[in-house]
Amino acid sequence: MPHVVPVGYRHRVPKPASLIEAHRLVKRFGDFVAVDGVDLQVQPGEFFGFLGANGAGKSSTMRMIGCVSPPSEGVLRVFGLDPIKDGPVIRSRLGVCPQQDSLDEELTVLENLVVYARYFGIPRRVARQRAEELLEFVQLSERITSKVEPLSGGMKRRLTIARALINEPEILMLDEPTTGLDPQARHLVWERLFQLKQRGVTQVLTTHYMDEAEQLCDRLVVMDHGKIIAEGSPRRLIEQYSTKEVVELRFGNLPPETVARRINGRISEHCERHEILPDRILLYTADGDAAAEAASREHPAPSSVLVRRSTLEDVFLHLTGRTLVD
Amino acid sequence: MIHPAMAALEYHLVCYRRSWRGTIFTFFVVPVVFLLGMGWSIGGYLDGDAAGQGGLGVSYLTFLAPGLLASTAMQVGVGEGTHPVYGAFHWTRTYHMMRMSPLTTTDILVGHLGYILVRVTISATGFLLVMALLGIVDGAAGLAALPAAVLVGCSMSAFVFAFSATITEPVLLDVVYRILVVPMSLFAGVFFPVAQMPAGARLAAGLLPLWHGVELCRSATMGIPSQLGAPVHAGYLLLWTVVGFLVARWAFGRRLAG
C-alpha cells in the first residue's frame, strides 16, 4: 500500500517563528551587569517596545539584537540565526536607527543614503532610486543635494530613519528615535513609523517617553536595572498595574503633606491607592468623578481637581519608583 | 555584488572626492617645496664641496629625492591613520555606522587601509612625476619606486591604525609624530646616508621600516643596488604590514564589540 501523507500534514504551514528570541540573555561590562537574564520574543509584524529609564539596559539589549555587541550569556536568535556566527547575514536584514545619528555631515543627504546602501551590496542605480523614494517618505526630498551638517535635529533623525530603511529591512530597530525632537518633528516621526507598521514592517523601539510607547507599541516590556519587570500591551499593563482613572488634587500653597495629615486616614477611603507628592496628591481609582467629588467635600478643599485616565507613565512610575536613576 | 570591503573603500573615496583639494598642499606641495628647497640650498653647498658632492657621487637633489619620496609615503600612511581613524570611532562614528550594516570589522579595516593604499599611490605618483620632470629618475626602472613607496606607507599605517583604535585620548595621537615620524624621518637615511652614523645607530636605523623604504626607492630611482637586496627590504616592509594588520584587526574588533 502506497504511503499516503495526510493532506493536513502536507499543507501545514509552520507557525510563524519569532523573529527575535532571547532566553536568559545577559550582557556584562566588567563587573557591571547591563542586561540581567532577559527573556523575550518578537513576532513578525509586531511593534515591540523596550520601556525604561536611562541605564535600564534597553540599548544594550538592542545592540545585542543588532549583532554589534556579543551576549555575555544566554541564548539569542534573530531570524532563527545566531548573532555571533551569522552577524553579517542578520544585519543585512535589519534596519538600525541608533540613538546617535552618526550621519556623515560632510556628505550630502543623497550621498549618505547611497553610500550606506552600498554596504548592503545594493547596486548604485537601485540605491539612488530607493533613496529618492525614502526621502519623499520622510519629507526630505527638497534637501536631497544639501549637506547634512546644516540640517535640523528633526531632519537628521528622519534621514537616519530613511537610511535604516534603505535595505528594505524585515525588522526596523529604533533606539530612542524621538529623543531631543520638538513636538512637530516627533509627530512626523510617529506618523511615518505608524505607516511602516501598516505595511507590516516589524519594529523594535526603545523609549523613555511613555506617550510614544502607548501610541506605537502593540506590546512592550518595562526594563529596570537590566531586568524585565513587566510585559504586555499598553492597555493590559495599565489594567494590571494601575487603576482606570487618576485624580490629581492640588492645594495652592498648602503642602500636600500637611493636607494629608489633616484629613488623616480618610484619603484611602476615596481610592484604591494614593500617592503624596511635593506638589499634589494622586488618587488611583476606578471612578475618578466619585473620588474627586468626595475629595472636594474635605477640608481643606483642593484648589484644583483633575480627573484623567491612567497612562503608561502611572504604570511605569508605580513599577520603577520615582527615585532618580543616575 | 560589490565586496563589503570595497563598499567601505567606496565610502572613503566619496569623502575624498570632497576633500582632495585640501590634501594637495600637505601631501604634495609641502614635500615638493622641501625637495626643491633642500635639494638646491643644501645641494648647492654640498655639490660645490671640494671633495665633490659630499662624497655622495651624485647631486644632493638626486640623493634626497627618493628619500623624501619614501618619507612622504610614510607621512600619508601615518597621517591618514591617526586623526581620521580615531575620529571614525569617537567623533563621526563612521565605523559604528558601518558596523550596523553587514560589514565585518575586517571589511571596515580592509576598506580603510585600501583607501590609504590609494592615497599613498596618488601622493607617490605626484612626487615621482616631479622627480622625472627634474630629470633625477634613472629611466623606466625608477617606476619600481612607486610600489616601494606604497609598501612603506602601508607598513606604517596598519600599526598606527591599531594605535588609534586603542587610545581613548586624542592628544596621544601627537605622540605618534613626536616619537615615530620625526625621529624616523631624521635617522632613516632620508637626508644623509646612515653610513655617517655610529655603528649602533646604523643598526637601529636598520630596524626602521622607513630605512628599508628609502633603500628601495633610492635603488630604483638612482639605478644602484640596495644595501640588503630588494627582496629583504620588501620582505621586511611586508612583515610590518602583515603584523600591523593583524594587530589593527584585533584592536578594531575590541573597540567595535563594546
pLDDT of residue A190: 92
pLDDT of residue A291: 87
Place of cell 563587573: A31
pLDDT of residue B97: 94
Averaged pLDDT of chain A = 89
Q: What is the average per-residue pLDDT within A221-231?
A: 94
- Quickly state the pLDDT bin for A4 (edges 50, 70, 90): very low
Q: Compute how many other C-beta atoms are within 10 angstroms of the C-beta atom of residue A17.
A: 12
> Chain B contact for A14, CB < 8 A?
no
Q: Which of B2, B93, B96 sits opposite A121 (nearest CB)?
A: B2
Checking if the pLDDT of A21 tops 90, the result is yes
Amino acid at A211: D
Domain spans of chain B?
4-256
| C-alpha cell at position A244 | 482606570
Residues of A in contact with B98 (CB under 8 A): 119
Phi, psi (degrees; rounded to nearest 5) at B41: -75, -60
pLDDT of residue B44: 80
Residues of A in contact with B11 (CB under 8 A): 115, 118-119
Q: What is d(CA B107, CA B16) in angstroms, rounded to the nearest whole number?
A: 19
Strand A227-232 and strand A219-224: pairing? antiparallel
Q: Do B7 and A118 touch (CB under 8 A)?
A: yes
Residues of B in contact with A66 (CB under 8 A): 100
Each residue's pLDDT tens digit, A75-95: 999 999 999 999 999 999 999
Checking if the pLDDT of A67 tops 70, the result is yes
Residues of B in contact with A121 (CB under 8 A): 1-2, 4, 7, 102
pLDDT of residue B133: 93
> Chain A contact for B22, CB < 8 A?
no
Each residue's pLDDT tens digit, A130-166: 999 999 999 999 999 999 999 999 999 999 999 999 9
> Chain A contact for B92, CB < 8 A?
yes
Question: Residue A53 — left, alpha, or beta (φ > 0 → left; ψ -120 to 50 → alpha)?
Answer: beta
Q: What is the dihedral of CA A151, A155, A156, A160, to 10 degrees?
A: -150
pLDDT of residue A269: 75
Chain A's closest residue to B17, CA to CA, is: A107
Q: How far is CA B212 from CA A308, B207, B229, in A?
A: 79, 8, 10
pLDDT of residue A15: 47
Q: Which residues pair with A56 in a beta bridge?
A: none
pLDDT of residue A255: 84
Q: What is the longest distance spanned by two Cα atoms in chain B?
A: 66
| B54 DSSP assignment | G
Q: How far is CA A175 from CA A65, A90, A186, B89, in A?
A: 12, 18, 14, 19
For residue A57, the distance in angstroms to the closest alpha carbon of chain B comes to 14
Q: How far is CA A98 from CA A158, A170, A231, B92, in A?
A: 12, 17, 23, 13
pLDDT of residue A12: 47
Q: Enumerate domains of chain A plus CATH numbers.
A: 20-233 (3.40.50.300), 239-320 (3.30.70)
Q: Which of B2, B14, B92 sits opposite A111 (nearest CB)?
A: B14
Q: What is the average per-residue pLDDT within A118-132?
A: 97
For residue B258, the distance in angstroms to the closest alpha carbon of chain A comes to 6
| B60 DSSP assignment | H
Checking if the pLDDT of A289 tops 50, the result is yes
Q: Do A116 and B97 touch (CB under 8 A)?
A: yes
pLDDT of residue A325: 58
Per-residue pLDDT of chain B (258 residues), as tens digits, is: 789 999 999 999 999 998 888 888 877 888 888 888 888 888 888 877 655 566 677 889 999 999 999 999 999 999 999 999 999 999 999 999 999 999 999 999 999 999 999 999 999 999 999 999 999 988 888 899 999 999 999 999 999 999 999 999 999 999 988 888 998 999 999 999 988 889 889 889 999 999 999 999 999 999 998 889 999 999 999 999 999 999 999 999 999 986
pLDDT of residue B165: 96
pLDDT of residue A6: 41
ipTM above 0.95, yes or no: no
Q: Select the more confidently predicted residue: A259 or A193.
A: A193
Checking if the pLDDT of A179 tops 90, the result is no
Mutate to test the interface with A, among B14, B23, B99, B101 (most CBs of A within 10 A): B101
- Quickly state the pLDDT bin for A257 (edges 50, 70, 90): confident
Q: What is the average per-residue pLDDT within A102-115?
A: 94
> Chain B contact for A118, CB < 8 A?
yes
Q: Select the more confidently predicted residue: A304 or A1.
A: A304
Q: What is d(CA B41, CA A151) in angstroms, rounded to the nearest whole number?
A: 51
For residue A41, the distance in angstroms to the closest alpha carbon of chain B comes to 21
pLDDT of residue A11: 46
Residues of B in contact with A105 (CB under 8 A): 92
Each residue's pLDDT tens digit, A298-320: 878 888 999 999 988 888 888 88
